[in-house]
Amino acid sequence: MNYHWNWKIFWEDAPDGGGTYLDTLFSGLGYTLATAGLAWIIALALGILIGTLRTMPNKTVARIGGAYVELFRNIPLLVQMFLWYFVMPELLPVGLGDWIKSLPNAPFITAVLCLGFFTSSRIAVQVSAGIHSLPRGQTMAGTALGLTLPQTYRYVLLPMAFRIIIPSLTNEFAAIIKNSSVALTIGLLELTARTRSMSEFSFQTFEAFSAATLIYLVVSIIAIIAAHLLEKALAVPGFITSGTASGGH
């Protein structure tokens, strides 16, 4: 065991000219959070839409939702990244494809889109599970009150379903932050990529990885606390949500 520890390495200048090694790690964290945050918006919007479609009484609509979920769930995230980055521009009309390839931050945009669509399928599963967990009488009561189907979803089913699935959405949010690291394979300089380049330039491998581990840990703890606060703020008095016990973490 002759590893040479040097914790002061973080305050030394990184060779890529972006300040100290610590600065480059934090700039990586910035990309990680930006990618995850923007992808989360796409994922939530699409996930709610598809998840709702899957519970529709119309069989064809439900099947389209199901096919969407299967498509994005059964291909590894890494392969999806490659599809978005290398394959999609080739399949588009030449002009559009070339424009995409020439974008200055193509890896970032690609990663956001890919991660958004990937996570949307997982959110869709949670949303339909949440809707299905409500008693069937709720839909019937909505119909009996003269609500149309969209109104039943808007005022009865979705508000309840959301409160039930907040804990599993928290898990998905933690997962999207972790999954954003896969974008390093298409050249996005997020936290894990920065950590690896720090370890390659400085040879202080374990210091770099320890720092990254600590940063990921802190981020995920903050996300969990924020989700608990959100859950409390949105709780309907007298309505016990299924997952107040924090089993997952």
Partner 1 sequence: MFSNFDFDVIARSWHYLFFTGMAFTLKLTVIAMVGGTLLGTLLAMMRLSSHKAISLLATGYVNLMRSIPLLLVIFWFYFLVPYIGAWITGADVPVQVGAFSSCVITFIMFEAAYYCEIMRAGIQSIPRGQIWAGYAMGMNYWQTMAYVVLPQAFRNMIPVLLTQTIVLFQDVSLVYVLSITDFVGAASKIAQRDGRLVEMYLFVAVVYFVLCLALSQGVKLIHKKVAIIR
Closest alpha carbon to 169 in 131, 125, 116, 111: 125
Instruction: Please give the size of the binding site for partner 1, defined by CB under 8 A.
Output: 43
Radius of gyration of the chain (CA): 22
**Scanning residues 41 to 80, which ones bind partner 1 (CB under 8 A)?**
70-71, 73-80
CA–CA distance, 239 with 137 (Å, rounded to integer): 16
Q: Is 248 in the site for partner 1 (CB under 8 A)?
A: yes
Range list of β-strands (E), the chain: none
Q: Is 239 in the site for partner 1 (CB under 8 A)?
A: no
User: Do you know the residue count of the chain?
Assistant: 249
- Nearer to partner 1 by Cβ, of 120 and 139: the residue is 120
Which DSSP state fits 53? H
Q: In the bound complex, what is the minimum distance in angstroms from residue 166's beta carbon to partner 1?
A: 18
Q: Are 32 and 180 in contact (CB under 8 A)?
A: yes
Which one of 196, 202, 241, 243 is in contact with partner 1 (CB under 8 A)?
196
Query: Which two three-digit tokens encode residue 248?
Result: 């997952």
Q: How many other β-carbons are positioned within 10 Å of the β-carbon of residue 54?
A: 23
Q: In the bound complex, what is the minimum distance in angstroms from residue 134's beta carbon to partner 1?
A: 23
Q: Is 7 in the site for partner 1 (CB under 8 A)?
A: no
**Scanning residues 125 to 144, which ones bind partner 1 (CB under 8 A)?**
none
The contact set with partner 1 (CB under 8 A) reads 1-3, 70-71, 73-80, 82-83, 86-87, 90-91, 174, 178-182, 184-185, 192, 195-196, 199, 205-206, 209, 212-213, 216-217, 220-221, 247-249
